[in-house]
């Protein structure tokens, strides 16, 4: 079994880092997960590193919980922060020095119009070699793609691009995602299969999107992620079955090793 990197997890520890008063959603119970919880999970499943993603849930723009986890991880964690659209170069440099490799933008939650003014932010990310991580859904990428492509920034897309499972690979948003592979600067997370499915586990209707992404991006520009601790999941999701499912979706062992280890290790600078 090859070592693993999980490229999309959240740390939610309201006992040590209280949620923001104006948080749009405050995860409770099993939706929460501390850095210690994540470390134990990783040890059990052979996960060597994790890319932490600042959740809009709970913390909004307060990255302190995630930054604390990174600082105490002995190099096992790096992160994607959430910042205001007008974030300046100096703040980004400060975050980069603390193990932040990119900025997460949740278009699926906040809408396309919310990100209409991010050209300067994208330019800063390009200049610093940081990632612009986008969570889009359905056809939202169609409107954003020209700006993203022109920016020159490295692009990282969450959860297979979250296509509408009812509209297949021909839908315009997913075709925009496939086309961005030609830039050589775009990477997609093979994750969140429940988010592009109308079925229960093992979300068989999501396979067509995975197959199309494998063909367009190849394992050298795809990474695997769990989305732990599964915020707002409509049904129970467990970590072990996700790993088993990925073996079925990508039966070639060399391709799995690239997606789950070699590619994220190279892209995010894990040692």
* Contacts by residues 114-119 (CB-CB < 8 Å, ≥ 24 positions apart): 114/85, 115/85, 115/144, 117/85, 117/86, 118/85, 118/147, 119/147, 119/151
Superfamily of domain 4-268: Metal-dependent hydrolases (3.20.20.140)
Across 30-44, average pLDDT? 97
- What are the two backbone dihedrals, phi and then psi, of residue 26, each rounded to the nearest 5 degrees? -120, 100
The burial class, CB within 10 Å (0-12 / 13-18 / 19+), for 45 is: middle
Give 213-271 pLDDT, tens digit per residue: 999 999 999 999 999 999 999 899 999 999 999 999 999 999 999 999 999 999 999 98
Tokens encoding 262: 């070699």
Biggest distance spanned by C-alpha atoms of the chain: 47
Average pLDDT across the chain, whole number: 97
* pTM check: above 0.95: yes
pLDDT band with cut points at 50, 70 and 90 for residue 66 = very high
Contacts of 123 (CB under 8 A, 6+ apart): 151, 152, 153
Q: Residue 262 has what DSSP assignment?
A: I
pLDDT band with cut points at 50, 70 and 90 for residue 24 = confident
* 181: Cα within 13 Å, side-chain hemisphere: 20
| SS3 state at 135 | strand
Q: CA-to-CA distance for 73 and 77, rounded, in angstroms?
A: 6
Across 120-143, average pLDDT? 98
| Whole-number percent of the chain with pLDDT over 70 | 100
Q: CA-to-CA distance for 133 and 128, rounded, in angstroms?
A: 14
| SS3 state at 53 | strand
Q: CA-to-CA distance for 58 and 86, rounded, in angstroms?
A: 21
- At 245, which helix (H) or strand (E)? helix 239-249
pLDDT band with cut points at 50, 70 and 90 for residue 99 = very high
- What are the two backbone dihedrals, phi and then psi, of residue 67, each rounded to the nearest 5 degrees? -65, -35
- Say which residue the tokens 């007008």 belong to: 86
- Confidence (pLDDT) at 16: 97
Give 153-182 pLDDT, tens digit per residue: 999 999 999 999 999 999 999 999 999 999
- pLDDT at residue 196 greater than cutoff 90: yes
- Confidence (pLDDT) at 1: 78
- Confidence (pLDDT) at 157: 98
| SS3 state at 38 | helix
């Amino acid at each position: 079994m090859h070592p693993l990197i999980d490229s999309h997890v959240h740390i939610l520890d309201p006992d040590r880092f209280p949620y923001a008063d104006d948080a749009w959603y405050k995860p409770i119970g099993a939706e929460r997960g501390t850095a210690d919880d994540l470390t134990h999970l990783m040890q059990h499943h052979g996960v060597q590193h994790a890319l932490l993603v600042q959740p809009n849930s709970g913390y909004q723009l307060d990255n302190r919980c995630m930054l604390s986890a990174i600082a105490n991880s002995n190099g096992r964690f790096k992160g994607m922060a959430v910042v205001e659209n007008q974030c300046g170069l100096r703040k980004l440099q400060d975050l980069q020095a603390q193990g932040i490799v990119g900025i997460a933008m949740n278009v699926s939650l906040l809408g396309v119009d919310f990100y209409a003014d991010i050209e300067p932010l994208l330019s800063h990310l390009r200049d610093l070699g940081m990632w612009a991580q986008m969570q889009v859904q359905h056809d939202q990428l169609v409107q954003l793609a020209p700006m993203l492509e022109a920016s020159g920034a490295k692009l990282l897309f969450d959860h297979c691009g979250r296509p509408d499972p009812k509209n297949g690979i021909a839908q315009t948003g997913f075709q925009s995602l496939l086309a961005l592979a030609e830039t050589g600067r775009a990477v997609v997370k093979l994750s969140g299969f429940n988010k592009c499915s109308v079925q229960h586990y093992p979300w068989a209707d999501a396979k067509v999107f995975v197959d199309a992404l494998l063909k367009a991006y190849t394992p050298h520009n795809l990474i695997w992620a769990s989305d732990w601790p599964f915020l707002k999941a409509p049904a129970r999701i467990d970590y072990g079955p996700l790993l088993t499912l990925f073996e079925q979706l990508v039966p070639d062992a060399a391709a799995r090793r690239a997606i789950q280890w070699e590619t994220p290790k190279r892209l995010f600078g894990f040692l």
